[in-house]
Chain A
Amino acid sequence: MAVSVNGGLIKPGVYFMRGNEAAVEGALIAGCRFFAGYPITPSNEISARMSRRLPEVGGYFIQMEDEIASIMAVIGAAVGGVKSMTATSGPGFSLMQEAIGLAAMIEAPIVVIDVQRGGPSTGLPTLVGQGDIMQAQWGSHGDYSVIAYLPNSPQEMFNLTIEAFNSAWKYRVPVIVLADQTVGQMIEKVVVPPLEEIEIFDRIKPDVPPEEYKPYDKRYLIPPMAVAGEGYRVHMTGLTHDERGYPTTRHEVSQWLVRRLVEKVQANEREIAKWEEYETEDAKLVVVAFGITSRSAKRAVREARNRGLKVGLYRPITAWPFPYWRLEELVSKGAKVLVVEINMGQMVHVVREYVGKENVEHMPWAPGAVPPPEVILDRILEVYPQ
């Protein structure tokens, strides 16, 4: 698809675009200038477009030998101060998990777009799945936090990829765009606003000279970041490290470090988390659905309303941190919850943790297809409180 370019970036306007391609244009606007990836369905449109578009904006593309190499290259670029990302799907995302832990540990800002497909294992390469919700947060060993977005349209692939870069560099955490095969490969209207209306967050630079700089200065929850080649001579290691970045086995340092890695997101969850509501105000039953499933669920909710049932839709736009407080509020007003997702039960566990097992119904759905609105409606009718 031909793109009219403006200094290399896409021109503001209305486009008819594939989700995966919209994500690329969002990334470039956000300042992404390095991409490393490995072919995998259904994410391939991202690397294909990146390989053509990055040199047009003066950026760098490389196809690596596997997903481990891809994400390591992305982290390498990030510590050099270059906004960088990769894109993959389930099997590749699994291979990347150890390195996501490294990025979290050294606080390298990276973006990973995971276009979820059916699993487990090779599963259904060309068909939809939503089975990476837990993997996104818990896939690497040890404790750390990530931010994960759940786009449900090509427009959100564009918007949330920009937001993913902003969050990664603001909080210095790995940020995952948890797309799915349908949202990634569907073609829809995408509005690119005037560039000056798009907020871009850049690195927090050190405000002290190199001799006073500590890479993980204890005074900060999110320390300013010196990058390679600036004269700060930083040391970063995946080992547990003190504020100088030096390895240590002291328990009080481990306490300080690991708590902070988790708190960076936890303490800012209300600023980071996003969700959307539809007809929830008086709802007796709130359907929780995300990604492509939310669009089918919305149709089911509308149909239930037509039949006079007080049903609403709660769509988390971030899986991590999960926007639990508003859902708690709706349940405290007497609503029951029905979680619909294309997996055998992942987000339902998170929802139960906040609103109580007794208030939550589930509709698991095997990967390979989006649950049709009429099937969701049947389940709504089944669990609707009488």
Chain B
Amino acid sequence: MSARVGVRLSPTPRMERIKTLLRTERLPHMWCPGCGLGILLKVFAEAVLESGIDPDKHVVVSGIGCTGRIAGYLRLDGYHVLHGRPIPFAVGLKTSRPDLEVTVISGDGDLLTIGGNHFIHAIRRNDDINVILVNNFNYGMTGGQYGATTPPGSRTLTSPYGHIEGAFNVPYLAAALGANFVARWTVLHERELKKAILEMFKVDGFALIEVISPCIIYGDMNSIPPLEMMKKFKENCVIDHDADLSKADLDPTGEKPIILGNFVRRERPSYQTLYSRIIEKARGGRRG
């Protein structure tokens, strides 16, 4: 007699709705149980559907790492490029194809550690791209090494005695560099996150959302399992759109409040908008 375990699940109505935007033949996805990336995938797909922009014009670019795999599950034009380099790839695509809505979805290690130079310069130039930076405080895919967002004191695969470096405070950094839109949400805050993504699609210029997500690798090493982490996102969060970002650094292992919100909205014209004026001027009104 064969034994069966588990329950048979049928897709929820929410899943049915976004099915056209998923490469369902590639499911189940490769993320660990307890990872927050599946939630982001769902929320992002919903936002694309609700954006009013033809999904054919939405493009997702991602780098390497767990988050980097998101482009491969979305049935959109999707590009999974080099480690640290999705931002410049997206800049080239968006600059030469202004008709596209280009979103980078990648991890903290990819965008801020190896890719930190591109991150700061794309914000400074004010490139008209959307960036969803998933912060899980470590390099999950390679076994949990520390990176530029690992909070001091954390244990990781490569900081077994406790992490002695400082961490980037992402919204503070992006706001200081001049980003037109800066927000931070957790994967627990689905509705707020979706609203922020929809807002981001409307921004001309660099728009950033830091998405905080639990990671079982990081959780294991710091005695904070994903569910505990999600509880913390609920209990320790402070939603304050006008927060003093200099105090918005994170420590998910401690009791520090997790400051969330849509912090910055500016109207600085993007590189691409300004460049279109250069073309007009150089062509002296000629078309074609």
Contacts and interface: CB of A to CB of B under 8 A. Distances in A.
B150 to A, nearest CB: 24
A52 B275 CA distance: 12
Interface stretch (A59-67, A112-120, A130-138, A155-163): A59-67
A289 to B, nearest CB: 36
B92 interface: yes
Contacts of B99: 229
Contacts of B82: 72, 98-99, 102, 238
A327 interface: no
Nearest to A56: B282
B72 A235 contact: yes
- The interface residues of chain B, by DSSP majority, are classed as helix
Contacts of B80: 235-239, 247
Contacts of A68: 85, 88
Shortest Cβ-Cβ A-B pairs, 4 listed: A73-B92, A76-B92, A55-B282, A69-B88
B43 interface: no
Given A69-B87, A99-B82, A228-B93, 12 more contacts: A58-B288, A60-B96, A60-B275, A69-B121, A74-B92, A98-B82, A228-B77, A229-B56, A229-B57, A233-B56, A237-B72, A247-B72
Contacts of A7: 286, 288
A106 B23 CA distance: 19
Interface of B: 23, 26, 56-57, 59, 61, 71-72, 75-82, 85, 87-97, 99-100, 117-118, 121, 271, 275, 278-279, 281-283, 286, 288
A68 B87 CA distance: 11
Given A233-B75, A239-B80, A34 B100 contact: no
23 contacts: A7-B288, A8-B283, A36-B91, A55-B278, A55-B283, A60-B279, A65-B117, A66-B117, A69-B87, A72-B81, A73-B88, A76-B92, A77-B97, A79-B79, A80-B96, A81-B97, A82-B96, A82-B97, A99-B82, A106-B79, A228-B100, A229-B59, A246-B23
A3 B117 CA distance: 37
Contact of B85 (A55, A99, A228): A99
